[in-house]
Structure 1
């Protein structure tokens, strides 16, 4: 049975990095990074949220089609709203796939350090600007708290990303 591995977590925790490494270690896995789809849409920098919803719909369709081919998908995507998570759970079920949702975490200081020192791309530059406009580090730490609460409430596994190799082993065990 194919699996959708959803890596959820605060900005800077390592979702995209772990998703790339997980996909590389599991040939045939589709790395579906929604943030990488945004620049495909003209004007995305000025309507990050609106574009995000549009490309999220596109990602759902792409993910469902790929899962139906019998192959796995890894999705690094911050989602705090349970109703949004439910969309991905339902899409996986519709495709006859298992959904494995994981919340990635690290110590608050580590998350903020990674966030402030990650490589700058057009996407990360816009994300950093939006984070600053909406509350900066406090926003990131509040989002982290909400995700941890959501994980506890839903019985979602927490994976500590402090040791990347250990995190990758834990992710592989969750989907095997």
Structure 2
């Protein structure tokens, strides 16, 4: 049975990095990075949220179609709203796949250090700008706590990303 592995976590925790490393270790796995897909839409920088919703619909269709081929998908995406998570769970089930939700975490100082020192791309630059406009580091740390609550409410494992090798091994053990 194919699996949709949702790597949730605060900005800077390593979702995209671990998604790529996980897929490299599991050939045939699709990395569906919604933030990267968003950057394919003209004007996305000025309408990040609106473009994100449109692209999220597209990503759901893409993931459902890919899972139906019998292959796995890894989704590195920060989602705090339970209703949004439910959309991805439903897409996996429609495709005959399992959904595995995981919250990636690290100590607050590690998350903030990674966030402020990650390689700048057009996507990370816009995300950093939005984080600053909406409250900066306190916003990130508040979101981290909300994600830990979401993990507890859904029975999801929390994987510490401080050591990436250990985190990758834990992720591999979660996918049937």
Moved over 3 A (4+): none
Q: RMSD value over aligned CA atoms?
A: 0.4
Q: Tell me the equivalent position of 2:67.
A: 67
Q: Tell me the equivalent position of 2:28.
A: 28
1:148 aligns with 2:148: yes
State the distance in 1 between where 2:114 and 2:161 align.
Answer: 11
Which segments of 5 or more consecutive residues in structure 2 lack a partner in the other structure?
none
State the distance in 1 between where 2:64 and 2:115 align.
Answer: 30
* Per-residue deviation, 1:153: 1.4
State the distance in 2 between where 1:152 and 1:88 align.
Answer: 18
State the distance in 2 between where 1:154 and 1:90 align.
Answer: 15
* Per-residue deviation, 1:39: 1.3
State the distance in 1 between where 2:143 and 2:103 align.
Answer: 12
TM-score by length of 1: 0.99
Q: Does the residue aligned with 2:39 lie in a helix, a strand or coil? A: helix
* Per-residue deviation, 1:60: 0.1
State the distance in 2 between where 1:7 and 1:170 align.
Answer: 12
Deviation string 1:17-51 (CA, Å, 9 cap, x unpaired) is: 00000000000000100000011111000000000
Q: Does the residue aligned with 2:102 lie in a helix, a strand or coil? A: strand
* Per-residue deviation, 1:94: 0.2
State the distance in 1 between where 2:142 and 2:129 align.
Answer: 17
State the distance in 1 between where 2:44 and 2:91 align.
Answer: 25
Q: Tell me the equivalent position of 2:82.
A: 82
Q: Tell me the equivalent position of 2:14.
A: 14
State the distance in 2 between where 1:154 and 1:60 align.
Answer: 20
TM-score by length of 2: 0.99
Deviation string 1:44-79 (CA, Å, 9 cap, x unpaired) is: 000000000000000000000000000000000000
Number of positions where the alignment pairs a residue of Structure 1 with one of Structure 2: 176
State the distance in 2 between where 1:27 and 1:153 align.
Answer: 32
